[in-house]
Amino acid sequence: MNIKIVVADDHEVVRKGIISLLSQETDLAVIGEAKNEQEIWESVNDKQPDILLLDLFFDHQPLGLHIIPQLLAKFPQLRIIIFSIFNDDKYVLDCIQQGATSYIVKNADRQDIIRSIRCAYARTAFFTPEIATIIQKALIQYRPINTQPLSSTPSAYPLHLLSEKEKAILKLISEGNSSRDIAEQLGLSIYTVNNHRINMIKKTQVKNSTELVRVAQEAGKL
């Protein structure tokens, strides 16, 4: 089954370029495009895409940031990937906090763009190293990515959302392994391991990996 995508960007050259790139992949199907807010709503409503690849700025205004929660309120199954020339910490963190599944800059490698779409469709987050660094720094500084309040009891944390791969990584983290160690043991890249760590923290809404290990241990999951 093809992953259905709508591409929203107010620059036609960029929009057509990304559509051309995505059309080369047999599992990706661009079913719509939009150049302004009205067309975004019409395309998402009429086409019912799996993924909205959304520019951050339209007509010099951060429409992408403001429209994320509105779209997700009406289309909760939609996965939104912000596709922007900006890699400012504030824009990245605000978009993730508003509900974007991923954030990728327009100069990213072709494979990273495609991978972000496939990961979003699988309901996991993929971040390039530069974006992952921004999010990791925010997590270290205890800046919340998801502000939804949770009880402090272990049972309140949605550990059931972790994939089998994430559970394996979490177990290795609890044993004191570094990301490099985990990457070597599981045959993954360090960036992939770090992306999994970020995704686990986002899913369970804890502050950092240390708290995640503690919560999992107290819940009897380790």
Convert the pLDDT of each residue in 185-200 to its tens digit: 998 887 788 778 888 8
- Amino acid letter at 102? S
pLDDT band with cut points at 50, 70 and 90 for residue 1: confident
Pairwise CA distance, residues 82 & 87, whole Å: 11
Q: What is the pTM of this model?
A: 0.64
93 in Cβ contact with 24 (< 8 Å): no
Q: Which numeric CATH code is attached to 148-218? A: 1.10.10.10
Domain parsing of the chain, residue ranges:
3-129, 148-218
Locus of tokens 């559509």: 19
Helix residue ranges per DSSP H, the chain: 12-22, 37-47, 63-74, 89-98, 110-121, 129-140, 164-174, 179-186, 190-204, 209-218
Counting every residue written for the chain, the total comes to 222
**Which residues on adjacent β-strands are paired with residue 58?**
61
pLDDT tens digits along 70-105: 998 899 899 999 999 998 888 998 898 888 999 999
79 in Cβ contact with 108 (< 8 Å): no
Instruction: Tell which phi-psi region holds residue 123, choosing left (phi > 0), alpha (psi between -120 and 50) or beta.
Output: left
User: What pLDDT score was predicted for residue 158?
Assistant: 77
User: What pLDDT score was predicted for residue 202?
Assistant: 81
- CA dihedral 71→76→82→88, nearest 10 degrees, is 90
pLDDT tens digits along 142-170: 444 444 444 444 455 678 888 889 999 99
Instruction: For the beta carbon of residue 5, count every other beta carbon within 10 angstroms.
Output: 27
73 in Cβ contact with 99 (< 8 Å): no
Locus of tokens 């241990």: 217
Structure tokens at 175: 């044993």
pLDDT tens digits along 18-68: 999 999 999 999 999 999 999 999 999 999 999 999 999 998 888 888 899
Pairwise CA distance, residues 10 & 37, whole Å: 10
User: What pLDDT score was predicted for residue 143?
Assistant: 43
Pick the CATH number of 3-129 from 3.40.1390.20, 3.40.50.2300, 3.40.309.10, 1.20.120.420: 3.40.50.2300
pLDDT band with cut points at 50, 70 and 90 for residue 141: low
